[in-house]
Structure 1
Amino acid sequence: MALTIYQNVMSLNTQRYLGQTQNQLSKSLERLSSGLRINHAADDASGLAISEKLRGQITGLKRASMNAQDGISMLQTAEGALGEVSSMLQRMRELAVQAANGTYTSNDRIEIQKEVDQLKDEIDRISTSTEFNTKKLLNGDGTALWSASSDAISAIIRDDVAEGNYKIELNTQAGQNQVFKTDIMTLKDGIIGAEIVTSGSSSGNLTNVSFVSDPETMPSTGTAYFSVVISGNGVIASSSSTVQTLAYYGQPGSSFLVSNATAAATGGRSGYIEVEFADDANAGDTANVTLNVRFIDALTGTVSQWVKVTAAYTALSSSTYTVDTAAAGLQNSAGNTIDIDFSFTLSASGSVQSGDKVLFSLSGGVAANGNYAGSGGGSIQLTGGPVGQNGPTIYFTAQNSLTPPDNGDTITDYNQVQVYYAQLNTQTGNLDLGNLTLNFKELSNDQPTPNGRTMTDAFDLEITGAGEAATTTTKLKDISVFTDADGNNIFSNKQELTIWGNGSNITIYLQGDDTIADLEQKLEEAIAELGMGSDSASVNSHLVDYVSMPSNSGERSVKGTFIIQTALTGEQGEISFSGDQALIDAFSLAEIQESVNNTTKVTVKDAHTGQLVGVDETSDDRVYGIIDGVEIVIDSRAGVTETWNSVTQSIEFATDTSSAAKEHFLHVVDNSTDLQIGANQGQSLSVSIPQLDVEGLGIENVTLVSQTLAQRAIPDIDAALNKVVTVRATIGAQINRLEYTITNLDTARENMTAAESRIRDLDVADEMATFTRYQILSQSGVAMLAQANQIPQMALSLLQG
């Protein structure tokens, strides 16, 4: 071997090996420091690729297991809330069974209903407020979201939905509404009523008198109605005072006849003249006869003092006497002298006795050109009645004395005009003085006018007595059904009557001084406020009708009853009543027409493509199964029109012919909760909890205020319980599934972690042996490098020799 100085090949060789040893020693030291067999891709390229994939799966499985745990927590939150809903439904069912028992009064059931209402409110609150991480769980939003183009349709989310935009067409056959009738409202003893029953005009009552109220001691008419004649639409010519003989009272044996009755001065006051004979006279007697005379004012009811008047004997072919009241000082209530003249004659065998009577009517005259049409004045005359007498004509010449002017507001103003009616009892001789109030309403104008306008017409007036049907102006305290067997009137205290319907209720307050008309108005307003009225004013005005003029057949054949109904068909239009048991018993409400749901053909199409999705026909206003997961709720007004038929006197429902052309749109978006329970795409569990408020459970109309309604509520609550139990069972099954899922995920993660460990983790024992080997080799290499570096020095030995 050559010995060189410039090139030390052995040193280079040693350095090369030492470098390799150092490199391997460095890698071994890195592995031992990191604990990983693969620290760089160069360490094991394929192993790194497999390891990274396994790592992704391992971390995914770990996160999926945590997701499943979160899902269990969410489902347990929902199930816990539904547990309380289930408990509340069980309590509601218990209350329904309790209220269905006949031992309870209406007041008792009202108290039961209060708890039911609170339970329903709490179910709604739980549905609205139950959340997990701000995500609503029980109101349906966690499953799907929806919106509709009109109030005619709405949706209840039942399950996973097929999202999209849907066009819904409705073709409806109208059902019928529920109709109630009350007990007959009759007048109690000592009470009379007054009712406008017909009109002298073919166009109806054209006068300003809307109603007649507060009758007192008026004679019952039966079918012999009074006729009330109102004059005033025009210019009235001057008229003189007139007097007319109305009735006689003669004791047995009396026989006389009044004639030639005239009137001069009367002071413009109208009323009645009662004449009573104070002496006896027989045919052939020539002595004068003394009479007692008094005036009864038809406007104020004031009865003057008796004045004595002499009937002067006149020698004629028969015994005739003439009377002049002027000299006697007879005056009216205004202090004006009344001057009437009349004669009475005794037949050949006739006589008059002390106590015999004659009754006259006196109509005071008016000046010429009284423009009643422009002043709101006019005249009133009460004629006919059971004895067929013509009462005096009462003139009203003062401005607005009959009809008030229109003041331009939205309230109809009335002027109450009281008139008096006198009738001589031909059996007893007593003078019966009664009165009633005519209510003149203003006539609407575009602008307020200085004076009212009195319209001319006539109408027939019925007066009813005890045991007969009450009138619209009768006060509730004067109706016999509101007085119990002990004589106690239930309106000695204010009464509350609650009307239930459309998932809500409203309470009206009734007092003894309320009239039949007041009760009618309060009930109508309450039903309309419940949203069970109509857009038609004519329909709303007949939601509650009091039958004062019965028809020959049909709902209005019973006089004195209320007819109560809504403007909605089917179950959506059903109402019920609660209040003091005595009040409910007094009304004795009877269902004379059951509600019938509309029958609706529902056609659903894709709103974008027009492709048919499905068709179904329903008679309960709900359709489920056409759109996946969505129950379509149809308003009973959709596709139906309601009108008031003035001929049949009923609210009629008919198919809206234009409804078929109407298109309703429903937008549905899937908003279900997907739990990612796997490491890879598509490994998820869909959780859909339906809408579980009172509407979704179908108990929004559950009321227990009557025995019948309580019995009907039991199956509704059972159905709601079944829905809750079904959802809870589904949630429970999903929780169990997720627990198995977690176990499986953890097992898979464990096995994958072991596989990944075998690829990437370092075998420390094996690596320590490797490290020791390279450490020794490194030390040896360094030593050998030192020796190799000494070789060139051997050349010096040769030079020294």
Structure 2
Amino acid sequence: MKINHNIQALNAYRNLSQTMGQTSKSLEKLSSGLRINRAADDAAGLAISEKMRSQIRGLGMAERNSLDAISLIQTGEGALNQTHEILQRMRELAVQAGNGTLEEQDRTAIQNEIDQLTFEIDRIADTTQFNQKKLFSGSEKGHAFASVDSSKIDYTNNGTWNGTVSAPPSEPASIELVFDEAVGGLSDTTTPSQIEGKTFTINNKTYEVVTSANPTSITVNGNIAVKVNWQEPLTDNAISSNIDSLMTSLKGAVEANDTVFNDPSNPVLNSTIMTATDSDGLTEGSPISGKLILSSSKNMSVAEGKEISLDLSGFTAVKAYEPGTTTPATTLTGEPTSAIFESTQLTFGSLPTASDEVPYAGDELKIEGLTIRFSHSPQAGYTGGPSATLDIKGKDLFEIADSIKSVLSTAQSEKPSVVEGLSSFDVVGNTLVLSTNRTDDGSTNGLDISMKDVNFEAYKNKDLELDMQIGANDSEVLKLSLSVMDAGKLGLARGADGSFLGTGINAVKGVDVSSSEAARMAISRIDNAIRLVSEQRSELGAIQNRLEHTITNLTTANENLTSAESRIRDADMAKEMTTFTKNNILNQAGQAMLSQANQLPQGILQLLK
């Protein structure tokens, strides 16, 4: 008999611990309903189950994708149904116009209806959308070698984009009005009647000087009154007082009547007065001048300032200058630079062709005065002039973006005038980020960006190709092609000169039915248009039927895979309950035996009595 080591108790404790662990696992499975709650429960089963789960969830999403595809097809097919109705009516009118019993005015009325129906075909093609995706206008934007995130860079024509990105202004625009002694009067010959009626025209509002004691806000001439307390200009002090009174009254009148200089929604008074000063206070008749700086209540660019005009022809003694200069001005002057930077991003992407090279040889990117040409011949990147050539052969998009960054860096250090508007630039992956702090002056300010894609026109107005993901795996794609369905593609659109137009150009006139012969030719053209629409609708209907079978297959596969995954992952509750009951009984027995084993050393006490 031993005291220090109770082997029987240790044995009972070991068995009890194992039983309690198994009981705990049974409780976990019973409470979760899952046979596998962690990888340790079944490592291989967990891996198989997760693969099945990805397939099950993919099948569920593929089913939704297929339903969306059917909705898209139904939207397009519904639009083409109306196009068919229009064509049938046009054919009916063409048959009517071919009848020799009609007079010229009768055919004119028929022609008017055919023209309007043609316009509607174009409208349907232009506006039929699903999730903002135009269905029957084709690939109207083509596939440019880079996308620009700024709406200021617009497509012009022939695969070319142009635009200017400008920084938002951070300072108000202003103009400096200089009032000198010629305004205030040099002698007692200047009387109130001589200053009365002088006018300023600022931002298309006319302000008129009034010297009467109690003037109305509007003068008899319909102008805004500028009240001046006029003194007889016998001294320099009187002249200064006259100038200050005139400047103060004009400033108050402008701010009270023009929101450009005092906007109630943004009440910031930027206009200031520099009171009239005597250049030599000891000598009468010395030069005197004051300044009124009229400034906009909000920040304005150079271009915005140019819209605020000023006309001093009614008071030629007052001069207008650009602030801080002696340069004459007739509009407000805005700051050419801003404390705020504006950025735009050019992201290079792939074209759907056999080659992955983007951009292609012959494409161009122009930033300010620097033109970057892409080529397949190894030439120097930048030679110090207004152009650079990049060898793109064998380079990926990231390398091309880095090469452009290098060219810009060299140009900025060697010939900064070429990229004057470019404040900073950087590359993030295959995206070129360009920033400027120059505001818009309507012509040269801001950052000028141009792109020319030599392959763009090859993809413009082609059929719209859509890839429908109708399976859980990457290769399970259905390709849907939607043809352009405008009047030009259908052969019914005519221009102003009567010639037939091509795809993508909206009609000015419909097919000609002005004579019996023209009407018979129109019937043939309309028949061909009906055939084209019928072919497109038939294709859409066939794909819709196919997708309905696809959805049935997806739901069946989803059900079967879910069942298989359930056999691996879900717990058999009856079996698990049996195991739990067994372990629960063993727990009770183990606890009783552990208690008995702990009592065995008590026998030692009997030997010690």
TM-score range, shorter chain: 0.3 to 0.5
- The structure with the largest helix share of the pair is 2
TM-score, length of structure 2 as denominator length:
0.46
TM, length-normalised to structure 1: 0.35
Higher strand proportion (structure 1 or 2): 1
Q: Quick check: which has more Rg, 1 or 2?
A: 1
